[in-house]
Amino acid sequence: MSNLADVKAGLRSLHIETPSWAYGNSGTRFKVFPQQGVPRTPFEKISDAAQVHRFTGTAPSVALHIPWDRVDDFAGLAAYAHDQGVRIGAINSNVFQDPDYMLGSVTNPDPRVRRKAVQHLLECVDIMDATGSRDLKLWFSDGLNYPGQDDLRDRQDRLAEALREVYDRLGQGQRMLLEYKLFEPAFYATDVPDWGTSYAHCVELGPKAAVCIDTGHHAPGTNIEFIVAFLLRAGRLGAFDFNSRFYADDDLMAGAADPFQLFRIMYEIARADALGPDIAFMLDQCHNIEPKIPAVLRSVMNVQEATAKALLVDRDALRSAQQTGDVLGANAVLMDAYNTDVRPLLADLRAESGLDPDPTAAYRRSGYAERIIAERAGGQQAGWGA
């Protein structure tokens, strides 16, 4: 059995970043169902994110998305976040919605469009300077729908050139996180389809570049924990976009479809003693049919539960079973931890930190949901599925 104090210390070191767009109206390309009380401004998104931190004690930062969260005074937004008890996390760029990007952004064959995309990415670094953000998160929708549509190799050259310019602009302590996605919106080929492509570009760029794993961006059946283990060993795992998928990039609550997968991922993190700040544990999800703040609370708690189970794995027993070739014994050590009910442990941990043991109930009792419904008319579209 692992030492309980170590398990608690590990859990205390885990911080989960919530995305501003999880609080706004968003959904699928078929229909966005507007909800009452959703934020009208980036400030209101931050105050919603602060509620998640207030009740879980483990979500101290909020990721912004530019231009959805554009304000005149980013330093003022950061100061507002600070007053609310949170801080601004990763800056997520957007080079996928402007009509100019129909055939790609940084890989577009037209140099004018490429320049426009790079300018946006550079502006995101300016915003990082103003907000004090460490991370620039890059996701490109760039890709091809048809064989022959453009030159696969030239597009890699254009991508490398754009990344280099942005990388060179990063200040001290700033990082670039390169997210990959196998499919969608391009279906024949995407320009950063997998972790290998992202990893190769990061290595070429230098130590400030690292891979972001979005758990919804793989082919069905992909062994994501292998990717985690590989990138940790190589020192290039920079971040997660946690969410949950049944089929594709579903963007559902983290741990909803496959809590066992989330446990296996968190086990690799625990095994590498990497629960600290070097990895940005972010959520990337949208809540179309469920209330938003409670859904983010649920996701944060699901990640905490998976992490608690991962920390409970008896690593000595596991290693000795592995080294003696005890296949069933090794598997049993892992399953024993996974099958432990960790909810009482997490409730204790919260109580020890002066929090309510049940964040969802505490949020419900706080009256915040009623207050925002009364105060906010005409909530803002988060940006997705307009």
Chain residues binding Zn ion by CB under 5 A are 214, 241, 249, 284
Instruction: Output the six-digit token pair for 7.
Output: 């398990």
Report the C-alpha gap between 328 and 311 in whole angstroms. Answer: 20
Nearer to ligand AOS, 184 or 290 (CB): 184
Nearest to 21, CA basis, from 139, 171, 187, 189: 139
Nearer to Zn ion, 194 or 214 (CB): 214
Indicate which single residue of 69, 179, 268, 305 sits in contact with ligand AOS (rule: CB under 6 A). Answer: 179
CB atoms within 10 A of CB 172: 5
CB of 101: closest distance to ligand AOS in angstroms?
13
135 binds ligand AOS (CB under 6 A): no
65 binds ligand AOS (CB under 6 A): yes
Instruction: Output the six-digit token pair for 361.
Output: 């109930």
Size of residue set near ligand AOS by CB under 6 A: 10
Nearer to ligand AOS, 20 or 337 (CB): 20
225 binds ligand AOS (CB under 6 A): no
User: Could you tell which of Zn ion, ligand AOS, none binds residue 92, using a CB distance below 5 to 8 A set by kind?
Assistant: ligand AOS
92 binds ligand AOS (CB under 6 A): yes
CB of 94: closest distance to Zn ion in angstroms?
12
Indicate which single residue of 214, 225, 268, 305 sits in contact with ligand AOS (rule: CB under 6 A). Answer: 214
Report the C-alpha gap between 149 and 183 in whole angstroms. Answer: 16
Q: Is the peptide bond before 294 cis (omega within 30 degrees of 0)?
A: no
Report the C-alpha gap between 142 and 102 in whole angstroms. Answer: 9
Report the C-alpha gap between 90 and 128 in whole angstroms. Answer: 8
User: Could you tell which of Zn ion, ligand AOS, none binds residue 65, using a CB distance below 5 to 8 A set by kind?
Assistant: ligand AOS
23 binds ligand AOS (CB under 6 A): no
Q: Is the peptide bond before 34 cis (omega within 30 degrees of 0)?
A: no
User: Could you tell which of Zn ion, ligand AOS, none binds residue 135, using a CB distance below 5 to 8 A set by kind?
Assistant: none
Burial of 375 per CB tally in 10 Å (0-12, 13-18, 19+): exposed
218 binds ligand AOS (CB under 6 A): no
Which are the contacts of 127, defined by CB distance < 8 A and separation ≥ 6? 64, 66, 74, 91, 133
Nearest to 292, CA basis, from 372, 365, 238: 372
CB of 326: closest distance to ligand AOS in angstroms?
40
Nearest to 249, CA basis, from 17, 28, 21: 28
Indicate which single residue of 69, 249, 268, 305 sits in contact with ligand AOS (rule: CB under 6 A). Answer: 249
191 binds ligand AOS (CB under 6 A): no
17 binds ligand AOS (CB under 6 A): no
Binding residues (CB under 6 A) for ligand AOS: these are 21, 65, 92, 139, 179, 181, 214, 241, 249, 284
